[in-house]
Structures are given as structure tokens and as C-alpha cells.
């Protein structure tokens, strides 16, 4: 039964690619797009303000030891699910999340929406300890706030360099409503990608450590997600090596993995994308 349903989805998707998308399919894509971007904006906003305040707010009901267990589960579910969705089983799951044969075409949109829901769960359901170790004041507050703001601007630049349409979920639904099959752009080797192979993760790491309020809650988040920022991209690079071989290995030999090189490396663009690649 499952294989039969999957075959029907593939047939429907191929028919859409050959004959164009119907009005209903475009309506579904637009609905997915609106929901995805609304979740994305709210999730990023909640993350910015929560980390800035040291995660001193949240609707989680737990206290003491139970709170630490609940918060740790919230923190680790993000990298675990985020990475699993990029695996082959995860991609198959994403390809089933939209009706009318649109699952594969809206996979990047679904991925971003799920990631946004994960972030909302973390910062909305957090059980804060209400313990504040340090709160910046005066010049320290100005300096810390400037670094924190700069980290988010750096993250925005990294996302623009890597392809904001993919990062924001627009790639999928935007193509469908324009009656085009979604196309993944080649792996970026320009901008910040000439200094480090993982500028998004480097900038994300900086947002975790530059905010002006330090609490044990924020330290938990920063430590766990720093490990993810360092080890998580290895899975992504493994996929690129598998699909692009020596072309990507040459890029690896020229540009450092994580710690940025002050001098930009001259890198030839990679002219193909990794199948199933997501943010």
C-alpha cells in the first residue's frame, strides 16, 4: 500500500512538471509559502529576543532538575531532527508532506517550516531557571549589544551568500506558483564562502556567545549548539563529496572548514547542486 501511494505521488508530480501546475496546486504552494514565512519570521524573532535576554522567559512548567532535563531535550531535538531531515529517510518524509503531488517540490518549504516550529518550541516552551549570572551595563552593554547585532547581520550576509531563497523556504513554493520546477542553486563559493566553508554556522555560533545577559540556561544552549555548529556541517560536506567528488575536495583544500581565513581564497564556482540539499 505504501509503495503504491508513493508511486501515485511520483506520477502526479511528474505530470505537474510536464504539463504545468494547476490552479489548486499553486494555491496550495502559496498557502505553504505564507505559513512558512510567517513561522520563519516569528521563530527568528523569538530566538533573537530570547538569547538577548539570557533565556529568562518561557512557558515551560518545570522546575529544578526536571527543568534541566526538559530544556536539554528541547535543545538537542533541533540538531537531531534538523540533520535527520537531510538524510535519505528524512527526505522521503519531507516528500510526503504536501498534497496534490507537490511533496517533492515543496520539500524545501516544508523543511524551513519544520525548523521554525522547532525553534518556536525551544524558546516558547523553555523552563527558565531565573538565575542571572551577569547582565551587561554601561559600556559593556553597548559593546555586547553591538557584537550581538553584528553577529546577526553576519548571519544574514551568510544566508544571502548561500541562497536566501533556499534558507527561507521560498525556493520550493516560489517556483511552483511561477509554474516552474524548483531548482537548487550550485554550492556557493563566493562572498563569505571564500573565507570559510561554513559561514552560516560560524555566524550562528557568534550569536550564541555575544548577547549581554549570561544565565545557566543560555550556557546550556550555547554549549550544545556550539558542538552542533562544529560537527553538524561534516554531514553536509560528506554529501557534497559524494555528489561532486574532486571538485568539492579541491574547494576543501583551498578554504578552511570553520575558522575563517582573513584573506579570501580564489575559488572556481561549483556548477552543480547537491541533490536533496537543504539549509
DSSP 160-193: HHH-HHHHTTHHHHHHHHTT----PPPPP-SGGG
For the record, the C-alpha cell of 239 comes out as 554529501
Per-residue pLDDT of the chain (279 residues; tens, 9 = 90+): 444 444 445 444 555 455 589 999 999 999 999 999 999 999 999 999 999 999 999 999 999 999 999 999 999 999 999 989 988 899 999 999 999 999 999 999 999 999 999 999 999 999 999 999 999 999 999 999 999 999 999 999 999 999 899 889 999 999 999 999 998 777 788 899 999 999 999 999 999 999 999 999 999 999 999 999 999 999 888 888 887 788 888 888 899 999 888 887 777 666 545 444 444
- Minimal CA–CA distance to 15: which of 122, 101, 81, 108? 101
The domain spans of the chain are 2-254
- Minimal CA–CA distance to 40: which of 165, 188, 161, 150? 165
- Minimal CA–CA distance to 102: which of 163, 30, 184? 30
CA dihedral of residues 83, 89, 92, 94 (deg, nearest 10): -30
Q: Angle, nearest 10°, between helix axes 64-84 and 107-124?
A: 170
Q: How high is the pLDDT of residue 269?
A: 65
* Separation between Cα atoms, residue 173 and residue 102, nearest integer Å: 9
For the record, the C-alpha cell of 71 comes out as 530544556
* Separation between Cα atoms, residue 262 and residue 192, nearest integer Å: 10
Amino acid at each position: 500500500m505504501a509503495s503504491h501511494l508513493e508511486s501515485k505521488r511520483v506520477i502526479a508530480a511528474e505530470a505537474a512538471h510536464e504539463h504545468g501546475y494547476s490552479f489548486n496546486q499553486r494555491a496550495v504552494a502559496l498557502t505553504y509559502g505564507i505559513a512558512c514565512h510567517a513561522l520563519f519570521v516569528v521563530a527568528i524573532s523569538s530566538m533573537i529576543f530570547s538569547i538577548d535576554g539570557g533565556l529568562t522567559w518561557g512557558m515551560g512548567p518545570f522546575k529544578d532538575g526536571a527543568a534541566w532535563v526538559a530544556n536539554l531535550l528541547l535543545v538537542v531535538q533541533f540538531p537531531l531532527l534538523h540533520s535527520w531531515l537531510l538524510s535519505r529517510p528524512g527526505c522521503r518524509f519531507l516528500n510526503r508532506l504536501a498534497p496534490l503531488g507537490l511533496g517533492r517540490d515543496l520539500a524545501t518549504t516544508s523543511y524551513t517550516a519544520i525548523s521554525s516550529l522547532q525553534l518556536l518550541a525551544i524558546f516558547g516552551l523553555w523552563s527558565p531557571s531565573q538565575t542571572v549570572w551577569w547582565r551587561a551595563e554601561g559600556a559593556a552593554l553597548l559593546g555586547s549589544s553591538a557584537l550581538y547585532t553584528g553577529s546577526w547581520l553576519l548571519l544574514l550576509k551568510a544566508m544571502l551568500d548561500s541562497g536566501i531563497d533556499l534558507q527561507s523556504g521560498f525556493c520550493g513554493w516560489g517556483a511552483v506558483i511561477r509554474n516552474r520546477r524548483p531548482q537548487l542553486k550550485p554550492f556557493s563559493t563566493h562572498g563569505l564562502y571564500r573565507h570559510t566553508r561554513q559561514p552560516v554556522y560560524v555566524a550562528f555560533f557568534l550569536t550564541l556567545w555575544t548577547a549581554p545577559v549570561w544565565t545557566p540556561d543560555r550556557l546550556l544552549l550555547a554549549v550544545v549548539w556550539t558542538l552542533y555548529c562544529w560537527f553538524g556541517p561534516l554531514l553536509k560536506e560528506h554529501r557534497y563529496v559524494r555528489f561532486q567528488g574532486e571538485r568539492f575536495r579541491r574547494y576543501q583544500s583551498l578554504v578552511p572548514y570553520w575558522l575563517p581565513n582573513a584573506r579570501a581564497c580564489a575559488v572556481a564556482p561549483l556548477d552543480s547542486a547537491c541533490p536533496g540539499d537543504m539549509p
